[in-house]
Structure 1
């Protein structure tokens, strides 16, 4: 047995050795990163789940996940004897949290709280505000249709919270509340407002996060324009505007996000590739721009983003790649162009791209691959050319 295998075996034994024997609907699901990870599913009630994990009462729990269990209310002292770092309560019909729900060690130990897929109608004002070290809060897919201007004012961890997710609720521009709602969250770095009903970028609500926000997800809303000045986040590295109604973004709109590295714009309505759109985001590493009417990738498509490493352009209308387009991105590693309308692979498409390891051209209309079309690509390890016309012609070619 090699040294690596011995080390791995030792890690597995160590990890499993730390998780206690459990009963009922709960089981250990440890990993190297979470040696004591417990999952309870279909436990019937919170009381049943807590009873089933009594063996872990005196052990620090890295994560406790309770799924598909009727917990309309978290009562007082529910977890009083447990020390938990990450608590996940998903699909539990949760509506109310008692103010004393997290009494005990959890007030200081809980770092991450995931309440996705429940029935909360607002940002909880009882229980959660008393948590002193909360860093991540997930409230996706609840029934939150209003954010009070004081929603986070009472949070004892308001100066520590780094990540907040409110995707899949019922938030609109007006129900988002006034411009003060997020102001207490002075260190907030990651915010998801995906899958709501916003029609504009909530710039005024994020004034206090100007110098902290690194990840902003506004995908699947109804935002159809990005005005100049709406994005003023100097340290933002990731932005999603996927599946909105955007047809054009003026170059100056990105002037306030000079350090952007990941930009996701799939599912918008850009009629053609606009190279100037990227003039001020020269550090871009990943670009998602699929499911658009764009038919041509022009020669100068990447003139302002030469550091691009990954292009995701699935299910667009691309039938033409002009000569020299990808040569402007010499560091590119992955090109995803599946389900477009390409009819051929020319020898110049990928020429000289020494770092390119993945090409996905599945589901196009390719009936011709020129000699050397995929040649001289020293890093290539993944090539998907399934479901193209030349494959069909090979299958049915007569001897």
Structure 2
């Protein structure tokens, strides 16, 4: 692709943002080459080499170049024209396009326009960059995107729009990005997402929507994202989740919804997530869990429910989680646990129940947890422990019972804990208690 397309692309990029408009008239290609070499490509010795290199990159209609474009471009690159109070593209632009032009692999390149104080992106600004693989626009002031902004980036694989001021997106914002794999829109001010926003992103594997102002999601918002593996919805203001919201995400492995305002979950909320491995629901306002909430999550390995308002759990709450390895119930309001609560967690290795209000545990509470290695029971209100409470925990390595109301322990309470390496315990007359218990 030729010299002039690079000029036009950069003209759109710079002149569009700075509102530099001028009448169009022909410019001699050789003059462009010489000036470009002086401004952008100092390391290229022969203008013919430069012309050849640029020809590979993009095409250009040589009758469509503003006659004063080169002079305006030259001025923009001079340091005295840099102004952080306006949208500026200068910074690393020179090096970036130099890298593109001199790269050995001209079929794959990236552009970094992060931290440029950009407020707007002119329509069709990225025309001519069909081989662009990664576009970084994070930490700008962008508050609006034209529906056709990314239309020409048919080979884009990664788009980073995080830490801008976007409040809404039109349904056609991401049209043309059929092979996009990563989309990061975290740290914006999104209040809602229109149905169809992600419909054309059939190859998307990771979607970051954390740290926005989302209060609700339509049930079909993620339709079409069949290849999505990682979805981050944390640090929003979600009050509820509609039935079917995740139904079509059959390849999802990581789902993060922590730091929201959820108070309840419907029993079919997570239907369709057969491959889910990590589910983070921590730091919400959940006060109960319906039977069957996690029934279909047969491959789940980590479940985080800490820092909610859970006061009780049904004995079948965790049915179907045979592969679960880590369960975090810390910092809730649990006063008791029903016998059998953990019976189906045959593969559990780490269990956090600290910072609750437990006063007692049944002697068979942990019987099924033969693979458990770490058990945190600290900061509860346990008055006593039943004989045999830890009998079946033959693989336990770390046990913490600090900050409870224990004044005595049954004799041989720690019998069978052959692999125990760390015992966290403090309380009334600790030496006397431990001597009687061992």
Specify the alignment match of 1:267 in structure 2: 307
Match of 2:231 among 180, 191, 195: 191
Tell me, yes or no, if structure 1 residue 93 matches structure 2 residue 155. no
Match of 2:242 among 186, 189, 202: 202
Match of 2:268 among 225, 229, 239: 229
Distance 1:329 1:279, change over 3 A: same
TM-score normalised to structure 2 length = 0.62
In structure 1, what is the Cα distance between the partners aligned to 2:162 and 2:141? 10
Specify the alignment match of 2:18 in structure 1: none
Match of 1:284 among 321, 324, 338: 324
Specify the alignment match of 2:159 in structure 1: 113
In structure 2, what is the Cα distance between the partners aligned to 1:340 and 1:66? 51
Name which one, 1 or 2, has greater alpha-carbon Rg: 2
Q: Structure 1 residue 287: deviation in Å? A: 1.6
Give the secondary structure class of the aligned counterpart of 1:291: coil
Q: Structure 1 residue 199: deviation in Å? A: 3.2
Q: Larger % of strand: which?
A: 1
Tell me, yes or no, if structure 1 residue 310 matches structure 2 residue 350. yes
Specify the alignment match of 2:204 in structure 1: 161
Distance 1:191 1:367, change over 3 A: same
Asked whether the equivalents of residues 73 and 98 of structure 1 are also in contact (C-alpha less than 8 Å), the reply is no
Q: Structure 1 residue 71: deviation in Å? A: 3.0
Match of 1:329 among 365, 369, 376: 369
Asked whether the equivalents of residues 246 and 271 of structure 2 are also in contact (C-alpha less than 8 Å), the reply is no
Give the secondary structure class of the aligned counterpart of 1:277: coil
Q: Structure 1 residue 161: deviation in Å? A: 0.8
Give the secondary structure class of the aligned counterpart of 2:307: coil
TM-score normalised to structure 1 length = 0.68
Q: 1:1-399 residue pairs with structure 2 within 5 A?
A: 46-51=89-94, 56-57=99-100, 58=103, 70-74=117-121, 76-77=125-126, 89-97=137-145, 107-108=154-155, 110-123=156-169, 128-153=174-199, 155=200, 158-173=201-216, 176-177=217-218, 179-209=219-249, 211-235=250-274, 236-342=276-382, 348-361=388-401, 363-364=403-404, 377=417, 379-380=419-420, 384-385=424-425, 388-389=426-427
Asked whether the equivalents of residues 219 and 240 of structure 1 are also in contact (C-alpha less than 8 Å), the reply is yes
Asked whether the equivalents of residues 296 and 322 of structure 1 are also in contact (C-alpha less than 8 Å), the reply is no
Report how many residues are paired.
Answer: 340
| RMSD after superposition | 4.2
Q: What stretches of structure 2 of length at least 5 have no aligned partner?
A: 1-82, 433-438
In structure 1, what is the Cα distance between the partners aligned to 2:110 and 2:363? 52
In structure 2, what is the Cα distance between the partners aligned to 1:137 and 1:354? 45
Q: What stretches of structure 1 of length at least 5 have no aligned partner?
A: 1-42, 395-399
Asked whether the equivalents of residues 59 and 83 of structure 1 are also in contact (C-alpha less than 8 Å), the reply is no
